[in-house]
């Protein structure tokens, strides 16, 4: 199969592109290198340095004619989306619509979309969060990811463009930069390596800090492989299903780095969800997927990469 991966020079996209190549697929990467790195584009993939919003995107689709577009390019920062909602919607909504129009014009069968389970978590529904829980919409980033899911439904209905939206929990692993939606692991590793203490955002009722669901990059790649030929029209949570307090994550990072530095208590940040964990039953049923990598194992591999990339 020929697969075009947008954002394939970034953290998740580069691993996904690699996984597709390993399975014998032909891969084309489009990335403007605004956050990604050229050296992260896997060997064997064709590469176009291009903004998805540019007219060149249509030319690439016309020339390459991929069967699947795996869409990871995005404005990925929640705080930046709050500061600049127009930029967020320009890249994440307008840019994606331009891409979808090109997909329809040039015969793409399926779009796999990197959505968010963390930012679309519900504040009213019971935990773990299911895909049909009403999302809290606490940021423009959440609005733009949710909007794209709705557009994907429309394009499937009106233009026959099939889709699978993967709502990631907090993805971690090698190549992750400390500036994304979910940067706790690289931030903690950077602090530990530099001998700096880290901050624990906590409240009296949650002394070990807010909770999140951490899923390892290798498991995320397996979900992107399974999404190539599962039933379409689906929005699926991709997480570990384990609710981990940030204090526990920090301890596990220290173990993996073999460095134990203090965690300094700070208050809860405004707008932060206190608890978040995803129900991944639907992915188990439809993708035959579940997260397999235990947190200590994923962190150990990430710490090894961190040490090798720093040296
Ligand atoms: N990291 C997580 O835990 C997480 C969680 C939920 C969803 N996501 C989503 O997964 C996707 C990948 O995230 P990541 O953490 O790998 O981030 P990343 O920054 O490492 O990857 C994004 C890539 O997209 C590229 N890009 C950005 N804007 C572009 C544009 N206009 N045109 C072309 N390329 C562009 C960047 O250069 C970068 O290489 C994003 O859509 C993000 O919203 C990530």
pLDDT digits (tens, 9 = 90+) for 70-88: 999 999 999 999 999 999 9
Number of folded domains in the chain? Answer: 2
* In a shared domain, residues 23 and 112: yes
Q: What's the CATH code of the domain at 110?
A: 3.40.50.720
Range of the domain at 269: 175-212+243-276+293-310
* In a shared domain, residues 219 and 207: no
* In a shared domain, residues 179 and 126: no
Average pLDDT estimate for 218-226 = 98
Average pLDDT estimate for 272-285 = 94
Candidate from 4-13, 61-70, 197-206, 232-241 with smallest mean pLDDT? 197-206
Q: Please state the atom number of ligand 1 nearest to the C-alpha of residue 95.
A: 31
* In a shared domain, residues 14 and 157: yes
* In a shared domain, residues 54 and 183: no
Considering the chain, what percentage of its residues have pLDDT values greater than 90? Answer: 87
Quote the pLDDT of residue 179: 72
* In a shared domain, residues 6 and 147: yes
Q: Which residues contact 119 (CB under 8 A, 6 or more apart)?
A: 78, 138, 139, 141, 142, 145, 181
SS3 per residue for 187-246: HHHHHHHHCCCEEEECECCECCCCEECEEEHHHHHHHHHHCCCCCCCEEEEECCCCCEEH
Q: Are strands 244-245 and 211-212 parallel, antiparallel or unpaired?
A: antiparallel
Quote the pLDDT of residue 201: 87
Give residue ranges with CB within 6 A of ligand 1: 6-7, 9-13, 31-36, 51-53, 72-74, 76, 91, 95, 114, 116, 168, 170-171, 180-182
Q: Is 141 a catalytic residue?
A: yes
Would you state the structure tokens that stand for residue 200, as one six-digit string?
């624990």
* In a shared domain, residues 259 and 164: no
Mean pLDDT of the chain: 95
Q: What's the CATH code of the domain at 255?
A: 3.90.25.10
Quote the pLDDT of residue 180: 60
Task: Select from 14, 10, 1 the least CA-distant residue to 42.
Answer: 14
Going by alpha carbons, the residue nearest to atom 1 of ligand 1 is: 171
Average pLDDT estimate for 49-59 = 98
Quote the pLDDT of residue 291: 98
- The crossing angle, in degrees rounded to 10, of helices 295-310 and 246-257 is 50
Is the pLDDT confidence value at 269 over 80? no
* In a shared domain, residues 120 and 231: yes
Q: What is the 73 CA–ligand 1 centroid distance (Å)?
A: 5
* In a shared domain, residues 136 and 179: no
Quote the pLDDT of residue 181: 56
Going by alpha carbons, the residue nearest to atom 12 of ligand 1 is: 72
* In a shared domain, residues 117 and 258: no
Quote the pLDDT of residue 272: 79
d(CA 155, CA 184): 35
* In a shared domain, residues 179 and 219: no
Task: Tell which one of 15, 19, 35, 37 to mutate to probe ligand 1, the residue whose CB is within 8 A of the most ligand atoms.
Answer: 35
* In a shared domain, residues 203 and 156: no
pLDDT, one tens digit per residue, over 98-152 is 999 999 999 999 999 999 999 998 888 899 999 999 998 999 999 999 999 999 9
């Amino acid at each position: 199969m020929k697969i075009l991966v947008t954002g394939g020079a970034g953290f998740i996209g580069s691993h996904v592109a690699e996984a597709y190549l390993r399975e014998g697929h032909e891969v084309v990467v489009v990335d403007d290198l605004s956050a990604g790195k050229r050296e992260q584009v896997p060997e064997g993939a064709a590469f176009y340095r291009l903004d998805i919003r540019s007219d060149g995107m249509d030319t690439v689709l016309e020339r390459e004619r991929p069967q699947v577009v795996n869409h990871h390019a995005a404005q990925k920062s929640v705080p930046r989306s709050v500061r600049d909602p127009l930029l967020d919607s320009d890249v994440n909504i307008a840019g994606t619509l331009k891409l979808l129009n090109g997909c329809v014009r040039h015969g793409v069968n399926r779009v796999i979309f990197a959505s968010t389970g963390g930012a679309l978590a519900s504040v009213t529904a019971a935990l773990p969060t299911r895909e049909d829980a009403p999302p809290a919409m606490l940021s423009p980033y959440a609005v733009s990811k949710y909007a794209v899911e709705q557009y994907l439904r429309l394009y499937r209905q009106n233009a026959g463009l099939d889709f699978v939206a993967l709502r990631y929990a907090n993805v971690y692993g090698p190549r992750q930069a400390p500036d994304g939606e979910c940067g706790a692991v690289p931030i903690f590793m950077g602090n530990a390596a530099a001998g700096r203490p880290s901050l624990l955002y906590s409240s009296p009722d949650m002394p070990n800090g807010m909770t999140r669901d951490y899923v390892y990059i290798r498991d995320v790649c397996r979900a992107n492989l399974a999404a190539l030929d599962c039933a379409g029209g689906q929005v699926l949570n991709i997480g570990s299903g384990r609710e981990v307090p940030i204090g526990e994550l920090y301890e596990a990072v220290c173990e993996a780095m073999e460095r134990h530095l203090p965690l300094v208590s700070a208050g809860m940040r405004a707008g932060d969800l206190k608890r978040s964990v995803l129900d991944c039953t639907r992915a188990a049923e439809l993708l035959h997927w579940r997260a397999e990598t235990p947190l200590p194992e994923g962190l150990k591999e990430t710490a090894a990469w961190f040490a090798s990339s720093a040296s």
